[in-house]
Structure 1
Amino acid sequence: MRWNEIGWNVARCLFGLCLIGLTLSVVIQFDGNHPPEAVEAAADLTGALNRSGFMNPLLIISLLTGGAALMVDRSSPIGLLLVAPAITVIALFHYFLTGSYVWGSIWPIWWAALAWHYRHVFARLWQPSGD
């Protein structure tokens, strides 16, 4: 195995483990609700999401499923597709509501790097069908 492949495998597995670990910590520490936010606008949004009753389970399921899929090379592209909406929301949440640009940038950059690595798989989505 080449060093390049090892690096991509480490990046993929770490991304999956981070998604699983952070999601499980929210489930365990905060009973599946968003953690309290210091910024009022962010607290308003997370409060609304907590009260909705369906967004938090949806986020938890998609992040856990996508993170688990990322742990296996063969299922990594579907894992990236499953976590893409949540990663986008997390990034925009931190950009516009909390002002935490570094924390908001880590996840989409990491996701984009992995998506670029698997671009050969995603390229098939835009190929015309062989009718």
Structure 2
Amino acid sequence: MNWIIRPARWLYALFYTYVGVSWFSYRLFGTSWPEHKETPAAKALTTALTDSGIVDPLIASVCLVGGACLFFRRTAPLGIAILAPLVTGIFIFHAFLNQNLGWGAFHLGYLLVLAWCHRSAFRSLWSHGRPRGD
């Protein structure tokens, strides 16, 4: 099973690392940035967030750091935790604003599968020991 999980994790890591690197390359060196079809509501939101000047570098940084963490088994749970809020936002954006449920569901489903495969690393978040008596 590990021979399936590792390449799947690397592909997900490669995608998010690429997104982060390509955004910084676009801003620093003027490389091309793809235009996507968006509904008017989605376009209004992305324009407002881009114009703020804060959200795009934050998203690119999260993609870069989370993707880089996913390359290594030891830091994969950290990468999953870093990417979880962003991927949830991507799902909500595509489901409700861009009417492209498939793309958002794919990203969220992929992350949930990775989280399930690394569930033992998250066990301490959900289980608490008994308090020690004095």
User: TM-score range with shorter-chain normalisation?
Assistant: 0.7 to 0.9
Question: What letter corresponds to residue 9 of structure 1 in structure 2?
Answer: R
Residue 5 (structure 2) pairs with residue 8 (structure 1):
yes
Q: Distance in 1 between matches of 2:35 and 2:81?
A: 25
Q: What CA distance in whole angstroms lies between the structure 2 residues aligned with 1:99 and 1:36?
A: 13
- Greater percentage in helix: 1
Aligned length, in residue pairs: 127
- Aligned 8 A contact 2:62 2:82 in 1: yes
How does the TM-score come out when normalised to structure 2? Answer: 0.85
If the length of structure 1 is used for normalisation, what is the TM-score? 0.87
Maintained 8 Å contact 1:20/1:67: yes
Q: Aligned in 2, Cα 1:55/1:90: closer, same or farther, shift over 3 Å?
A: same
User: Which stretches in structure 1 are left out of the alignment for 5+ residues?
Assistant: none
Structure 2: runs of 5+ lacking an equivalent: none
User: Following superposition, which runs of at least 4 residues in structure 1 exceed 4 angstroms of deviation?
Assistant: 32-37
Aligned residues with identical type, % of pairs? 31
- Equivalence for 1:106: 106
Greater Rg over alpha carbons, structure: 2
Q: One-letter code of the match for 1:95?
A: A
For residues 100-125 of structure 1, the C-alpha deviation after alignment (integer angstroms, 9 at most, x for no partner) is 11111110000000000111110111
